[in-house]
């Protein structure tokens, strides 16, 4: 029987589909074919000596083996080429390399799908959920959920503290803090989801309009929106808008139920709360703080409540801010506390009209930095300052931003102690 040379085999391989292969790959296929051809020759000789097939039978048998071998070689090449392609299951989200597209640089480049800003995705959702009393990352609602249910579902919180008449329990990994009253009713749900950090103050204003109230506290700007007659959303931005920065970044937001933060057993109304505030001020204290101006020194306070979140210096005084407590302590060079400010949210639900009804006409009034300041001289040594957000509008529409218990004599002699 006559067998083909390497040159003849290569000539026949030209009929295969056009595939790119290296010289080494070609030689490997030839070796496979030659080996099979030699094996076929041995088998053919044995069969000829035994049965003496006809010339046509031998030709068909050899052609079949050759065709099968060439097919195997083509399959091997095809598989190798396929394995060189990127695995579509391992593509990075958004990658287009797994499937061929128009060749770049010829006016046919594929443009990626436009990315929807986080503000457009989250701000409508935040409002929709807040109208139900919910944050968008937790299934619980202010007013209607008790903290026992949260603890049953989520387990013990990472830590718990008290501020502004509420207990706050923090679930760090979930990015949620729950504030609840003595009846365990949820009153405040704080969300710190990292996606919020991609939202800026200007985007909130564009989507939600102007807030009902604006306040600044501890190097943060707070926008308060009344989303229903019962619920509020407080957006907390890092930085002070009054400093001229309108691109402030959102760091968290709260869904708040003001009515749930009223201790009806202690205060029957806002009028009762204001009258109690005046009595506290006579003792050098303010709502939400057991410490006193003139009598206490700050280093002792710091030992009890820890380091402040923000430290600033104004007119020879040091102001230390505790954001979660809603308190600011100012002290002189002798560490004597001379000013305590309370940003208690219970006070922030009180209007100027209610202040006038409870406390009467102030000793003096002033406006500064977009705020109205009422000063009441409660003793010869102490002043109660009530600061409202805004300088215009009806008394029923101006709300308290914060209150101060102030010891003027301690600010004059900065070495007092």
**pLDDT value, residue 157:** 97
**pLDDT value, residue 22:** 58
**pLDDT value, residue 382:** 98
Within the chain, how many helices (H) and strands (E) appear?
10, 16
CA gap 58, 66 in Å, rounded? 12
The pLDDT tens digits of the residues spanning 289-301 come to 999 999 999 999 9
Cβ pair 286, 405 in contact under 8 A: yes
Long-range CB contacts (within 8 A, 24+) of 153-159: none
CA gap 337, 157 in Å, rounded? 34
The pLDDT tens digits of the residues spanning 305-358 come to 999 999 999 989 999 999 989 999 999 999 999 999 999 988 988 999 999 999
**DSSP tag of 242:** G
Region of residue 288 (left: phi > 0; alpha: psi -120 to 50; beta: else): left
The pLDDT tens digits of the residues spanning 34-82 come to 555 555 554 544 444 444 444 444 454 444 544 444 445 544 444 444 4
The tokens describing 248, both together, are 């402030």
Cβ pair 322, 199 in contact under 8 A: no
Burial of 376 (0-12, 13-18, 19+ CB in 10 A): buried
Give the pairing type, strands 166-171 and 176-180: antiparallel
Average pLDDT, the chain: 81
Cβ pair 345, 324 in contact under 8 A: no
The pLDDT tens digits of the residues spanning 393-406 come to 888 888 999 999 99
**pLDDT value, residue 56:** 43
**pLDDT value, residue 47:** 42
The tokens describing 166, both together, are 């509420």
Is the pLDDT score of 94 beyond 80? no
What pTM does this model have?
0.66
- CA 74 from chain centre, in angstroms, equals 55
- Dihedral sign, CA of 240, 242, 243, 245? positive
Better pLDDT: 157 or 2: 157
Long-range CB contacts (within 8 A, 24+) of 21-25: 21/77, 25/77, 25/80
Helices 23-50 and 6-13 sit at what angle, rounded to 10 degrees? 110
Nearest by Cα to 405 from 384, 381, 376: 384
The pLDDT tens digits of the residues spanning 131-152 come to 999 999 999 999 999 999 999 9
Lowest-confidence region among 238-242, 362-366, 385-389: 238-242
């Amino acid at each position: 029987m006559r067998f083909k040379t390497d040159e003849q085999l290569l000539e026949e391989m030209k009929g295969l589909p056009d595939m790119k292969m290296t010289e080494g790959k070609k030689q490997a296929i030839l070796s496979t074919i030659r080996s099979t051809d030699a094996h076929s020759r041995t088998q053919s000789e044995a069969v000829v000596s035994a049965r003496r097939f006809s010339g046509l039978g031998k030709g068909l048998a050899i052609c079949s083996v050759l065709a099968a071998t060439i097919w195997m070689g083509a399959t091997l090449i095809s598989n190798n080429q396929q394995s060189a392609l990127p695995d579509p299951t391992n593509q990075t989200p958004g990658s287009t390399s797994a499937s061929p597209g128009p060749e770049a640089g010829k006016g046919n480049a594929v443009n990626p799908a436009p990315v929807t800003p986080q503000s457009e995705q989250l701000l409508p959702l935040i409002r929709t959920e807040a109208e139900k009393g919910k944050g968008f990352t937790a299934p619980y609602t202010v007013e209607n959920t008790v903290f026992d249910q949260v603890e049953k579902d989520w387990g013990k919180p990472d830590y718990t503290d008290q501020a502004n008449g509420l207990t706050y329990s923090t679930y760090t990994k979930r990015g949620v803090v729950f504030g609840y009253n003595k009846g365990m009713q949820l009153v405040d749900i704080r969300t710190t989801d990292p996606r919020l950090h991609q939202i800026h103050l200007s985007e909130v204003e564009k989507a939600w309009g102007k807030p009902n109230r604006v306040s600044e506290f501890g190097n943060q700007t707070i926008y308060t929106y009344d989303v229903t007659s019962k619920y509020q959303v407080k957006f907390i931005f890092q930085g002070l808008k009054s400093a001229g920065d309108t691109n402030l970044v959102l760091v968290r937001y709260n869904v708040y139920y003001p009515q749930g933060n009223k201790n009806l057993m202690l205060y029957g109304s806002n009028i009762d709360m204001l009258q109690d505030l005046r009595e506290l001020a006579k003792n050098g204290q303010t709502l939400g703080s057991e410490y006193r101006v003139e009598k206490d020194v700050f280093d002792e306070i710091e030992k009890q409540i820890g380091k402040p979140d923000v430290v600033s210096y104004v007119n020879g005084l040091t102001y230390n801010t505790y954001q979660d407590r809603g308190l600011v302590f100012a002290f002189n060079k002798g560490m004597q506390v001379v000013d305590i400010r309370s940003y208690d949210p219970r006070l922030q639900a009180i209007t100027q009209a209610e202040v006038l009804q409870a406390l009467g006409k102030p000793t003096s009034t002033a406006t500064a930095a977009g705020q109205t300041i009422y000063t009441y001289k409660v003793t010869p040594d102490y002043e109660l300052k009530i600061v409202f957000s805004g300088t215009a509008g009806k008394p029923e529409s101006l709300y308290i931003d914060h209150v101060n218990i102030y010891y003027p004599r301690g600010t004059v002699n900065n070495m007092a102690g």
